[in-house]
């Protein structure tokens, strides 16, 4: 997908801006604290209706502003179909718009604008608990598997009810009432995730080989014992679950493990290697999406120069260029990142919140 226009008002320190990004690389450069990450944040807000820097979206509103507004035009380069996305936030409420209509669910915007983010914090995908890795898988499934989103919503609802029941000391026969949809949706989610991991593996290996020189093994752990189905697993853990007041088995406990010679990568790899592996994981998802739907996500890449040496940086940029995605990337100096090989490119200079296209 290509963001052909973006309008920004009242976002952090940024002055009001109307930009027409290039279909290829957009290099955003400027000194520290000038507003570069805030510009990426504005793009991210359009897709997710939340920020990647704060759980409180109102903190994104500029200090002296009553509210903020981000709107953008998204086109699909092949179909040339245009969608207009908008998010407006006042101190009190958020309004989302899709093609001039107010919409309730942020998933409607997310669906139109698949987005991949790489920041210095992205390494958490491998360093932290399994939640991030489940979200990683679910990003892909959300975009490629029609049934996934509603299956996940139903599963979450049933899980919430079951947990509330467990906490309030419900009897076993009451708890079992929730298990029907939990089992049905849980098994479905598991199958979809397993299939997704399988279909991602080859691409993931190939890109890891290229960026890291070798490919780790990825395996999906579904969140309950191998030999049994989810229904039996829930039954087997019922007593323990009643004691703890929480459901301990199911796809909400799944993980995507990543091993090198049988050891988890996070125990073996250097920070730089982990960072490259995260890049490989994100790129693999992008390529998979392009294969199955001819849609390419937009990449937001913040501050890579800060952590990757020039060779790694260039390797990453080369793959991004070949993959044909639209890219927004930040640097403190324009010479730090070489985008001269991109057929379509623009540069934006940011200083004290003022964004100016450099011609």
Ligand X SMILES: Nc1ncnc2c1ncn2[C@@H]1O[C@H](COP(=O)(O)OP(=O)(O)O)[C@@H](O)[C@H]1O
Which stretches of the chain bind Mg ion, using CB under 5 A?
A: 37
E-state strands within 171-320: 217-221, 255-260, 263-264, 298-301
Closest to ligand X by CB, 210 vs 354, is 354
For ligand X, which is the closer residue by CB, 70 or 258?
70
Cα–Cα dist 168/158, whole Å: 15
**Shortest Å distance, C-beta 48 to ligand X:** 17
Which residue is listed with tokens 């207009």?
A: 84
Asked if 3 contacts 72 with a C-beta cutoff of 8 angstroms, the reply is: yes
Comparing CB distances to Mg ion, the nearer of 52 and 136 is: 52
Q: Toward ligand X, which CB reaches closer, 204 or 305?
A: 305
CB closer to Mg ion, 37 vs 51: 37
**Minimal distance, residue 330 CB to ligand X, in Å:** 6
Q: Which of residues 151-170 bind ligand X (CB under 6 A)?
A: none
For residue 316, the surrounding DSSP H or E stretch is helix 310-323
Residue 74 vs 300, nearer CB to Mg ion: 300
Start-to-end CA distance of the chain, whole Å, equals 24
62 makes contact, choosing from ligand X, Mg ion, none, with CB < 5 to 8 Å by partner type, with ligand X
The token pair at 210 is 């290229």
Angle between helices 172-212 and 148-167 (to 10 degrees): 130
In the list ligand X, Mg ion, none, the entry touching 143 (Cβ below 5 to 8 angstroms by class) is none
Q: CA–CA separation, 334 vs 149, rounded Å?
A: 40
Of these partners, Mg ion, ligand X, none, which one is at the site of residue 51 (CB under 5 to 8 Å by kind)?
none
Closest residue to Mg ion, Cβ-based? 37
Q: Which of 105, 86, 140 is nearest to 292 (CA)?
A: 140
CA angle 40, 70, 13 (to 5 degrees): 60
Q: Is the dihedral of CA 44, 49, 54, 55 positive or negative?
A: negative
Q: What are the structure tokens assigned to 142, written together?
A: 């959300």
Among Mg ion, ligand X, none, partner that 38 touches (CB below 5 to 8 angstroms by kind): ligand X
The minimum distance between CB 92 and ligand X, in angstroms, equals: 16
346 touches, from ligand X, Mg ion, none (C-beta below 5 to 8 Å by class):
none
Q: Closest approach of Cβ 303 to Mg ion, in Å?
A: 6
Q: Which is nearer to ligand X, 13 or 111 (CB)?
A: 13
Question: How many residues sit close enough to ligand X to count as binding (CB under 6 A)?
Answer: 14
Picked from Mg ion, ligand X, none, the partner binding residue 168 (CB below 5 to 8 A depending on kind) is: none
Q: How far is the CB of 168 from ligand X (least distance, A)?
A: 41
CB–CB of 187/171 below 8 Å?
A: no
CB of 54 to ligand X, least distance (A): 9
Query: Could you say which of ligand X, Mg ion, none residue 13 binds, taking C-beta under 5 to 8 angstroms by partner kind?
Result: ligand X
Q: How far is the CB of 306 from Mg ion (least distance, A)?
A: 9
Output 40 or 265, the one with its CB closest to ligand X: 40
Minimum distance of Mg ion from residue 13's CB (angstroms) = 11
Which residue lies nearer to Mg ion by CB, 59 or 160?
Answer: 59
Judged by beta carbon distances under 5 to 8 A according to partner kind, the member of ligand X, Mg ion, none in contact with residue 32 is ligand X
DSSP structure class, residue 139: H
Of 10, 19, 144, the C-alpha closest to 67 is 10
Tell me how far, at minimum, the Cβ of 119 lies from Mg ion, in Å.
Answer: 8
Whether the CB-CB separation of 328 and 21 falls below 8 Å is answered with: yes
By the rule CB under 6 A, 358 interacts with ligand X = no
> What DSSP letter does each residue of 72-136 carry, written as one string?
EEEE-TTT--EEEEEEEEESS-EEEEETTEEES-HHHHHHH--EEEE-GGGGHHHHS-HHHHHHH
CA–CA gap between residue 325 and residue 4 (Å, rounded) = 13
12-71: which residues touch ligand X (CB under 6 A)?
12-13, 30, 32-38, 59, 61-63
Burial class (CB in 10 A: 0-12, 13-18, 19+), 279: buried
Instruction: Enumerate residues 6+ apart whose C-beta is below 8 A from 26.
Output: 326, 327, 328, 329, 345, 346, 347, 348
**Site for ligand X, rule CB under 6 A:** 12-13, 30, 32-38, 59, 61-63
């Amino acid at each position: 997908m290509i963001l052909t226009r973006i309008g920004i008002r009242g976002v952090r320190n940024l002055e009001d801006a109307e930009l027409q990004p290039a279909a290829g690389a957009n290099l955003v450069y400027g000194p520290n604290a000038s507003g570069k990450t805030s510009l990426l944040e504005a793009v991210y807000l359009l897709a997710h209706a939340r920020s990647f820097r704060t759980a409180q979206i109102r903190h994104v509103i500029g200090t002296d502003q009553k509210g903020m507004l981000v709107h953008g035009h998204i086109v699909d380069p092949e179909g040339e179909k245009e969608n207009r996305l908008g998010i407006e936030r006042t101190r009190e409420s958020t309004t989302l718009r899709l093609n001039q209509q107010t919409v309730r669910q942020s998933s409607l915007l997310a669906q139109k604008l698949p987005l991949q983010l790489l920041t210095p914090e992205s390494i958490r995908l491998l360093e932290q608990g399994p939640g991030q890795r489940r979200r990683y898988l679910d990003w892909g499934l959300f975009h490629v598997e029609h049934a996934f989103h509603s299956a996940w919503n139903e599963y979450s609802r049933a899980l919430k009810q079951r947990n509330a029941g467990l906490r309030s000391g419900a009897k076993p026969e009451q708890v079992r009432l929730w298990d029907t949809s939990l089992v049905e949706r849980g098994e479905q989610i598991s199958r979809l995730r397993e299939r997704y991991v399988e279909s991602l593996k080859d691409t993931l290996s190939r890109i890891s080989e290229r960026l890291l020189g070798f490919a780790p093994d990825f395996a999906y752990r579904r969140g309950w014992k191998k030999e049994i189905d989810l229904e039996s697993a829930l039954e087997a853990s019922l007593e323990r679950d009643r004691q703890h007041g929480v459901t301990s088995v199911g796809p909400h406990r799944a993980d995507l493990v990543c091993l090198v010679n049988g050891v988890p990568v996070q125990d073996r790899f250097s920070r730089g290697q982990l960072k490259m592996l995260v890049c490989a994981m994100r790129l693999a998802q992008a390529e998979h999406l392009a294969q199955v739907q001819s849609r390419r996500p937009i990449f937001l890449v913040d501050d890579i120069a800060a952590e990757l040496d020039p060779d790694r940086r260039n390797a990453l940029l080369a793959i991004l260029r070949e993959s044909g995605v639209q890219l927004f990337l930040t640097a403190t100096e324009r010479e730090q990142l070489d985008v001269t090989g991109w057929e379509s490119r623009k540069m934006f200079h940011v200083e004290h919140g003022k964004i100016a296209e450099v011609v």
